[in-house]
Copies of this chain bind each other. A is one copy, B any other.
Amino acid sequence: MKLSVRGEYALRALLVLGLNYGDHVVRIQTISDDQKIPKRFLEQILNDLKSAGIVESKRGLAGGYRLARHPRDITLAAVVRHIEGALAPVSCVSERYYEKCSCPDETRCPIRNVMKEVREAVVKIVERVTVAELCERAQRLKEEPLSALDYII
């Protein structure tokens, strides 16, 4: 998995929507200001997330976006898969975006074998982490003093 700027923006926008989860709707402009994301670009991205059923919108004055589901039901995996495509490092180990690769014998390819492990490790994390957890982590990070690790890693 490699996140493009687009994917990163998507996650950051969803974080804002998660932190503001409730009845009301958040304007693009607000998210754009808060997260320093180019507005027109963000429009595209949110629209895209809407078509994926991750987000819903209200039009007109006092319009904006909100999460289409509970933050607890939106996994990072779903978001990244929709924006970026495969989570796997090579498409021959991808479940949803599988593509045959050119190697002589895919079923006995040791590289593929390792890449499967990588894929599993990544999926295990992003399938477990939801927007709700992102919000909790944000809370925790705000309260906790910074650990030394933050500077090293």
Is B121 touching A12 in the complex (CB atoms < 8 A)? no
Is A104 touching B35 in the complex (CB atoms < 8 A)? yes
Interface residues in A1-37 (C-beta closer than 8 Å to B): 1-3, 8, 11-12, 15, 34-37
Is A137 at the interface (CB under 8 A from chain B)? Answer: yes
Is B108 touching A141 in the complex (CB atoms < 8 A)? yes
Is A137 touching B153 in the complex (CB atoms < 8 A)? no
The CA of A89 and the CA of B113, in the complex, are separated in Å by 20
Is B111 touching A1 in the complex (CB atoms < 8 A)? no
Is B138 touching A110 in the complex (CB atoms < 8 A)? yes
Is A117 touching B125 in the complex (CB atoms < 8 A)? yes
0/1 string, A45-70, CB within 8 A of B gives 1: 00000000000000000000000000
